[in-house]
Amino acid sequence: MRVAATWLLDQPIPLGRETVKLFAQEFCRFLWQLIPHIEQLTSGRPEDAVPAKVVLARVGEARRRLAEIDNTGLLGEIERVRPLARSVVALCDHFDALTGITICPACDEHIEDGETAPGHTHARCAGAGYRR
């Protein structure tokens, strides 16, 4: 999902209405599934721990974005969906950090020890032109 969100954020504004609608649905579904996992991962950490506070602030931000109503017009809807995409990317990054699992941002697959190249991508994906 991180790859889809990053792709959307890299696109110029003119996207089709149906494309934006599908992204919105997928991002919302994914965030509703991911948020409880992140909250569970942070639940055992001290309340004053800065990393936990940052993650929970991002969760709160994602929940606010999920609660926003659909905007009228294509540009308004793009303005609503782009922040959802940013929340997807941010919460995926936090999930990786909390679990110690590294996911390649180019292909969205788990990176095993020794497979990484600069930028925390697979060595095979490093030349694929991915940029966050």
Compute the distance between CA of residue 33 and CA of residue 95 in angstroms, rounded to an integer: 12
Assess whether 74 and 132 both reside in one domain: no
Assess whether 86 and 97 both reside in one domain: yes
Assess whether 81 and 49 both reside in one domain: yes
Compute the distance between CA of residue 52 and CA of residue 46 in angstroms, rounded to an integer: 8
Residue 9: which residues within 8 A CB-CB, separation 6 or more? 82, 85, 86, 89
pLDDT tens-digit profile of 43-84? 877 767 787 888 999 999 999 999 988 877 888 888 899 999
Assess whether 8 and 60 both reside in one domain: yes
The pLDDT value given to residue 85: 95
Assess whether 69 and 128 both reside in one domain: no
Assess whether 60 and 114 both reside in one domain: no
Assess whether 110 and 71 both reside in one domain: no
Assess whether 33 and 67 both reside in one domain: yes
* Boundaries of domain holding 6: 2-101
Residue of higher predicted confidence among 132 and 17: 17
Q: Which of 11, 9, 31, 24 is nearest to 88 (CA)?
A: 31
CB 87 within 8 A of CB 62: yes
